[in-house]
Structure 1
């Protein structure tokens, strides 16, 4: 609509002020032309009082939205038709009431898929997180889309404050003593170790069956050292663009060095440091080389930075990582023994409705080969039995020995396949006696563990 026509329509409206059709036409024209202020002046003052002006409300609401008056727009939009719901979603989004806006948007699109607005949908699923830096550090505002969970944003920018110690881990007493002697003491008495020219930091590789507590052990080690804990996920490093993975890895190491004492933990490290002889891709080899360089390169100062890594397949990790100065301490994290299993089960049932007849010694005896994760599954299965019984009885039934006996029939150990594979490597590919701990464990606990 050109200027002349719009002026003529305004003149006609002056002669007929209550003409709803004419007002609607003018408001739409102003909205299309982007003349928001001009359109707002044409909205009748008695819009909300007169019933015959109800059809004007949707276009008036759009004008108020364009003018940044979201609350005014929201008050005008009534009805449950899809167009009204979409307008409410836009107004609620402007007011930062994202959860309510999502409900309105989904209802509108379910009723009329043709109204789908991906720009609005992305806006509704954006989270904004403010981080106040320490002294001398700037305030950060992080904007993430719906693919990034809020906890993921915080994990990447701020190390977790929750402290885990060895007291939170059942069993693994021998391993705890080894870690205390080789890893924690250098952090607690750095002056003594410096006199003997022993540096604080370095690398430790934890290996063993899945579900046996390698990640928890790494977190507890950081807690005992009173150091910042950086849990580095594979997705934090790997990138589809050439050179980006190496750049990200370098940035993570720089962040840890800046906040020393710090513990960096790489889970499933074989994804970042796999044997270069097993891949034909040069990008994988470059990433391994960058990892090695960051650990002990000529220009790197990792003093006060402990690098912990965990893997279920140590035979797939590049042998260069085993060199002294890198992952020079390789520790086997075995499945818990009988005493540890009994202790872990008692820890896992705390806080649940519990009967007094549970025989934890019996359960520990009959869970040979169970990992910590398997024991957790056993407790959850027993709890499911108790919940089902509570529903059928109409009253809460505590977890009792009968429920655990039933759960034992359903839950199986998941470590046996790993132990079989590890035994073959330990017997036939044990270069440098690196798997002697596995053989010792199998000899000691092969039966009745």
Structure 2
């Protein structure tokens, strides 16, 4: 039991001793001597406090509580006296007796009242007491106590078996949603994205323009928002394009992590997903970005757990449910495995616009290298075009790794010489030998899907890319 509040560290009466109830070595002879002294002077409150504190420090909570049984909880007691009694009874697992002493409005007592009420399974009353204590003194916040108080207890019946009490922490409140959905602080625009000219043109035409000129779209009864699915090899800029889209729309960007949604408790994942969409609807114009979308929107026929199937159904309902109004909310999803996404998400009204984000071409690679080398000490003779010509198949992340390797070499050389050595063409060329393309495996897999599972031409862009850049 933690010891909160300065008033809780003062013993009964006028002794003024400080105590943290920490377990410390006390001999049996010392404890016996203290108890004999108390038996000789039972009305000495200061001595009784010393005995109780000493026993608590020695880990003898039940023994300490027995010395408090003679004290009347309704008597006029100092707050520190009540705190000492409450702590003793709570540690002795006597919550009813602890609650009898937990009177008054001091926050240090109120939070202990919450613990006693929780031990008695009076959760609603305990939660009220806990919140009152925090309102009066926020330093008393206890995450473990809060989690226990906010958990919900349900009874689950099994056919032919006993009822089971299941505790589920389903308290997803506004504070949790704000914590999960912190908008990105740094504004990113399409000018910060190297290459991908065709993808950016499609984004400007299909996504950004409706946000910038909503009147004409409203005249034609065209909804602003909707869902966009970005797919392609890992490390090719899908997340950066999503942030740039939000920046161009001048919209609030919510980057939703998978860990913010998935929860071990039944029904909590669906509640979190609903809370996130509600937050976006109240912050329009807003962009919700779901990276690694397949974790939340995977094909239900391949799911072994009903829990995962329910998340998919909740996601579908949030995007295009009967009672939902997502006007002004753009839902962006990114995935490396579009073939793993449940087909229901490809229906018009959901992720009906699909954009392929391919590995960068030569011009894009040169632009990315220039961005990556910006603000670094570099030699004027660096030819990013020549380096880009030798990096076919590398993603933006691969190029970042290349520049990092070259930077490490320049730093190492600077340390050896004792003077700053800028990044040179030689450093970049040397780093080329240590960098491998990570897109090849993805393109091989995507080629097979594009050739043999290209229903309704959904992978035509992949086939066109492979035709332009080699069919091997």
- Report if TM-score (shorter chain) is over 0.5: yes
Which residue is equivalent to 1:295? 319
Q: Are 2:177 and 2:275, in contact at CA under 8 Å, matched by a contact in 1?
A: no
Q: How does 1:2-41 map to 2 (within 5 A)?
A: 5-6=37-38, 29=51, 31-32=53-54
Q: How does 1:162-311 map to 2 (within 5 A)?
A: 162-311=186-335
Inter-partner Cα distance in structure 2 for 1:28 and 1:142? 28
In the alignment, structure 2 segments of 5+ residues that lack a partner are 1-30, 42-46, 58-79, 85-137, 145-175
Q: 1:413 and 2:437 equivalent?
A: yes
Inter-partner Cα distance in structure 2 for 1:339 and 1:210? 19
Shift of 1:160: 2.3
Which residue is equivalent to 2:466? 442
Shift of 1:370: 0.7
What secondary structure does 2:433 align onto?
helix
Which residue is equivalent to 1:338? 362
Inter-partner Cα distance in structure 1 for 2:221 and 2:141? 42
Inter-partner Cα distance in structure 1 for 2:227 and 2:205? 14
Inter-partner Cα distance in structure 1 for 2:427 and 2:177? 40
1:307-361 CA distance string (max 9 Å, x none): 0000000000001100100000000001111011111101101111111221211
CA change 1:290–1:367 in 2 (3 A) is same
Inter-partner Cα distance in structure 2 for 1:402 and 1:193? 53
Shift of 1:394: 2.1
Inter-partner Cα distance in structure 2 for 1:142 and 1:364? 55
Inter-partner Cα distance in structure 2 for 1:391 and 1:237? 46
Give the CA RMSD over aligned residues. Answer: 3.2
Shift of 1:30: 6.8
CA change 1:250–1:363 in 2 (3 A) is same
Shift of 1:158: 3.3
What secondary structure does 2:292 align onto?
coil
Q: Are 2:362 and 2:388, in contact at CA under 8 Å, matched by a contact in 1?
A: yes
Shift of 1:142: 9.3
Normalised to the residue count of structure 1, the TM-score between the two structures is 0.68
Q: 1:398 and 2:422 equivalent?
A: yes
What secondary structure does 1:410 align onto?
coil
Aligned length in residues: 331
Q: Are 2:236 and 2:357, in contact at CA under 8 Å, matched by a contact in 1?
A: yes
Shift of 1:293: 0.7
